[in-house]
Amino acid sequence: MKPFRKMPSLQSVTKILILLIIGHGTVNASSRRATTAWAAKNELNLRQIVQKEYHGSVDNLSSLQVTQMLSPPGEKKRGELSSTNRSYTNNEPLRQQLFTLPIIPLLYERILPPLWSAGLRIGGPDAEYESAADFLYKNNNENEINAESTKSGLGIGLDLSCGTGFVAIRMAQSNMFQHVIGLDYSPQMLQEGIATIQRQRLDLEGNKNGRAKNSRRLSWIRGDAGSLPFEDESFDVIHWGAAMHCVPDVEAAMEEVYRVLKPGGKLYATTFLRPFPDVVFRFFDLVELETLAKNAGFAGSSSNSDDQRQQLEVEGRGVYGIIRAVK
């Protein structure tokens, strides 16, 4: 027969219950405080970079949905640092409206990647991202930046004209950024990016199975490259992939890119070159790309040719043009 075990006293049971309740409450309170502090810090940063007229939309940026920040054409002045400070008017709307057709996201996700890999672009989505990261993820001394050794990695990144977001998603997954924004004119493309996260259960926040309803690391904005809804000097890094030929006013858009980049910030931009004909889209040669970047402010006014090479580089790979620039 087993010896009789003395039952714990009511006082002991009460103490245990109190400790469990206090301990559980302390953990939860600590977790809540950490989450609240992170959200407050993140919200403050996002409010700092989003122009005041869109502050009412900032609260939506942490959710997996498209936030509208598209200003009416010709009504909104561009940023103070713009060389012309003129109002922006979309004179080539067809270039953008084509990408609002429902079939376009399907093409980008299912049909076009094999063509890109075959040589139409640098390669497939992974190759495109890696080529950008090879430039963007290094400091100006060509040393690779390690997010684990820095407090905020590369700070805030923008994937401009992000399409279905395959680069924006990879930027967010890299853990190199405090926050990433994917901006595109087409709500259909942006919705496809959100659907990809949900369909593939991609993990952007360290949540189990990647089933997050919110995304504090990646936001989706519908906006116009020619009239960006951001304050001056907001971004540390901008990726602008295979889209310059689609923009109605590429000069205005390049000036906007320069305006919203922080000093020392990096731009990696790609587009298609001639001999593609200028029918709906506008294509370029390398001299035009270099002129666009310089007119916007890249390469500065330095008379030192070595400094200019460090700040602006234009490269052609077949029918694909690449701009690497530092503000």
The string of pLDDT tens digits covering residues 59-87 is 888 788 899 998 765 444 444 444 344 45
Provide the pLDDT for residue 31: 32
Under CATH, domain 114-141+152-206+214-326 is a member of which superfamily? Answer: Vaccinia Virus protein VP39 (3.40.50.150)
List the one residue out of 261, 262, 271 whose CA is nearest residue 240: 271
Please compute the mean of the pLDDT values over residues 164-187 and round it to a whole number. 92
Q: Quick check: 316 pLDDT over 70?
A: yes
pLDDT by residue (tens digit) across 229-260?
Answer: 999 999 999 999 988 988 889 999 999 999 99
Among the ranges given (83-97, 213-227, 308-322), the one the predictor scored with the smallest mean pLDDT: 83-97
Q: Which residue type, as a one-letter code, is found at position 69?
A: M
The token pair at 22 is 């206090």
Which residues are registered as beta bridge partners of 322? 270, 315
In contact, 181 and 159? CB cutoff 8 Å: yes
Q: Domain map of the chain by residue range?
A: 114-141+152-206+214-326
pTM: 0.74
The token pair at 68 is 């509208």
Confidence of residue 97 (pLDDT cuts 50, 70, 90): low
- Residue whose structure tokens are 């990695």: 153
Reported as half-sphere exposure (CB side, CA atoms, 13 A), residue 289 has a value of: 26
Which residues are registered as beta bridge partners of 1? none
Among the ranges given (24-28, 78-82, 113-117, 169-173), the one the predictor scored with the smallest mean pLDDT: 24-28
In contact, 251 and 295? CB cutoff 8 Å: yes
Provide the pLDDT for residue 289: 96
Tell me if residue 324 falls in helix, strand or coil: strand
- Return the DSSP state at 122: S
Say what angle helices 187-199 and 166-173 make with each other, to 10 degrees.
50
- How many CB atoms are located within 10 Å of the residue 102 CB? 9
